[in-house]
Amino acid sequence: MDLIVITDSIVGGLFIGVAAVTLYVFLGRVAGISGITWQAVALENEISANIWRWCFIGGLIMGPLLLGMLGLGSDYESLNRSPIIVLVSGVLVGVGSKIGSGCTSGHAVCGVARLSKRSIVATACFMSSGILTATTLGLLSDAS
């Protein structure tokens, strides 16, 4: 890994941490993105209770745009993967985060820091199954 990648990772990680702490200190909310997204679209809440969620989601999309406007955007390129792969991974991520009450942000970035027993277990589980899956798929594609 070159120095630029390391520096970018450090800076990016700090931003993510500050974002999560900001949401918690000001709104008293954990920055769990799967939960925020589901609640925002689930029609269970009053619209007024969802405004902050839509603002947060809007911010997630605006962040990279602002970075690009400042000339600091990454050289993002779509991988144009098979729609089946994208669809399957998306459904699994949705199903898993809904059943498991959280994703990388809620469990790993916030929950582990709060020393939540549940989040530590969830993070260990999805890290393990993620590594197992990606490594298996990597070996299979190398072999073919």
Contact of 106 with 30, CB cutoff 8 Å? yes
Burial 7-19 (b: 16+ CB within 10 A, else e): eeeeeeeeeeeeb
* Count, residues near other proteins per rule CB under 8 A: 111
Residue corresponding to tokens 């405004």 = 51
CB 39 within 8 A of CB 45: yes
**Residue 16 vs 45, nearer CB to other proteins:** 16
Contact string 35-74 vs other proteins (x = CB under 8 A): --xx--xx-----x--xxx-xxxxxxxxxxxxxx---xxx
CB 90, min distance to other proteins, A: 3
88-127 residues in contact with other proteins (CB under 8 A) are 88-105, 107-114, 116-118, 121-123, 125-127
- Is the Cβ of residue 45 or residue 95 nearer to other proteins in the bound state? 95
With CB under 8 A as the contact rule, the residue among 71, 78, 143, 144 that binds other proteins is 78
Residue 39 CB, shortest distance to other proteins, in Å, is: 10
Given the complex with other proteins, which of 45 and 135 has the nearer CB atom? 135
Quote the Cα angle for 119-122-124, to 5°.
Answer: 110
- Please, is 30 exposed, middle or buried when counting C-beta atoms within 10 Å of its C-beta (0-12, 13-18, 19+)? buried
Residue 25 within binding range of other proteins, rule CB under 8 A: yes
